[in-house]
Structure 1
Amino acid sequence: MMISVDKPNMIQSQWHPATWQDYEKLRDDPSIDRMQLFFHNHQLLVENMGWEGILHSEVRELLSAILVMWLMAHPEIKSKILGSCLMEKESQQAAAPDIALYLGEDLPQYRKGESRKINLDQQRSPNLVIEVADTTLDSDLDQKKYLYAALGIPEYWVIDAQGTQVFIFILQDQRYLRTESSQIVTGFTEALLSQAIEQMKSGSNISAALWFNQQLSLSSEES
């Protein structure tokens, strides 16, 4: 049974059987604001309809802040961070990850008059995508993992905001394998990221980002 695209609030945070045309109808509906859309294997997911929770938002901005600090310490690396930006592979997959990180050459650029989404048939995939799970952990570790693997994303992180747990996956032979340390962002580990979230919960995401940066500096000095 296909979804009713006339009632998007009824399908929030659940995967439903759908066609690419169903997805396009929601994507192009001007009356619907602030959606994160995902499409894979004839299934459609709608998230963040109109608002997001404090915890989800704070953890997402923490991740953005520590990535920015790392990139500022590595100015030789060309980079771009995108938040909830829609990316599509025509008629096959669509995703709007909480954070997408591009490193190196061929960074996506918006040009006036072009579509506001990233066309993955014409532009490359990001090096890393991150999903912050407040109430969506099962989906982030299941359907979205297969979606991002199909898109060829080299590294995928899932941040369990409630349980303060971090999952880092690297793509090998078209499937994700869990690892303790990032291969994309030097020094970032599951354990250190988890500790940063704990620091945030007893302070703020700004104080936690500063703490995280100090830990990276200490680790670099020791090595």
Structure 2
Amino acid sequence: MLKTVPKKSEILTDTWQQISWQYFLQLTNQSVYKNGKFYYDRGYMKIEMSPLGMSHGRDNAIVARLISLFATLKNIPVVEFTNVSYRKAEIRECQPDSSFYLGKVANLPTRSNQAIDLNQYAPPTLVIEIATTSLGDDLGSKRLLYEKLGVHEYWVINTNNYDVIAFEIIDGGSREIQISNVLPGLEISLVKTALERSENADDGEVNRWLIKLFS
């Protein structure tokens, strides 16, 4: 494990690297990594610095809007966060592309500019990662991380083919599902269809189609 504060040249971005929690926290505060996404699990960290293109941003927006519309029209309480850090001090940290608290949650995080403390607040109900070059990691190491954090569902969106892989997290493990449990009745295949439609339709057209389906 690294014994001194690592230099920028010593940090391997976009891959997992062994490092202590204390130095991980120092790196999160360095301006050179201000555009990075930070993950930490049991003594290993990953800083994602890959540029995010239009496909990543578009798919993230479409999926987040779909979830918000479904929850709204089905009277499911919903609170959405984008690129928020969740922290279980000295053990784990993550910064998913999108995350949602769904249903009645007793201890929702309060407003602040700090990482959400999972020793104080409940973990998000649903977490989403948008995969452009990180698909293997999103399905592997990150899935294990989210299992341990105790989220209820985890979705991975593959921007290369609109594929949506959804997992139910239960009893410390996960299994692939075709219908969401936290958004009852929502078929995962419909999310893929919405992404495909967004290739040739503007947001308003996709929204109207979704509202008609969900109403």
TM-score, normalising length from structure 1?
0.86
Aligned partner of residue 80 in structure 2, secondary structure: strand
Kindly indicate whether the alpha-carbon contact (under 8 Å) linking 2:39 and 2:45 is maintained by their aligned counterparts in 1: yes
Structure 1 regions of 5+ residues with no counterpart? 218-223
CA distances 1:144-176 after superposition (whole Å, capped 9, x unpaired): 000000001111111111121111100122101
Aligned mates of 1:8, 1:80 — CA distance in 2: 39
| Residue in structure 2 matched with residue 25 of structure 1 by the alignment | 26
Kindly indicate whether the alpha-carbon contact (under 8 Å) linking 1:192 and 1:212 is maintained by their aligned counterparts in 2: no
| Residue in structure 1 matched with residue 38 of structure 2 by the alignment | 37
Aligned mates of 1:9, 1:72 — CA distance in 2: 47
Structure 2 regions of 5+ residues with no counterpart? none
Matches within 5 A, 1:100-119: 100-103=99-102, 104-105=104-105, 106-111=107-112, 116-119=114-117
Amino acid at match of 2:24: Y
| Residue in structure 1 matched with residue 97 of structure 2 by the alignment | 98
Q: Percent identity?
A: 24
Change over 3 Å in CA distance of 1:55–1:206 after alignment to 2: farther
Aligned partner of residue 130 in structure 2, secondary structure: strand
Matches within 5 A, 1:1-223: 2=2, 5-7=6-8, 11-48=12-49, 51-75=51-75, 77-103=76-102, 104-105=104-105, 106-111=107-112, 116-217=114-215
TM-score, normalising length from structure 2?
0.89
Amino acid at match of 2:85: L
RMSD over aligned Cα atoms: 2.2
Aligned partner of residue 207 in structure 1, secondary structure: helix
Change over 3 Å in CA distance of 1:210–1:11 after alignment to 2: farther
Change over 3 Å in CA distance of 1:163–1:5 after alignment to 2: farther
Aligned mates of 1:38, 1:25 — CA distance in 2: 13
Aligned length: 212
Kindly indicate whether the alpha-carbon contact (under 8 Å) linking 2:69 and 2:210 is maintained by their aligned counterparts in 1: no
Aligned mates of 1:152, 1:37 — CA distance in 2: 18
Deviation at 1:4, TM superposition (A): 7.4
Aligned partner of residue 202 in structure 1, secondary structure: coil
Deviation at 1:207, TM superposition (A): 3.1
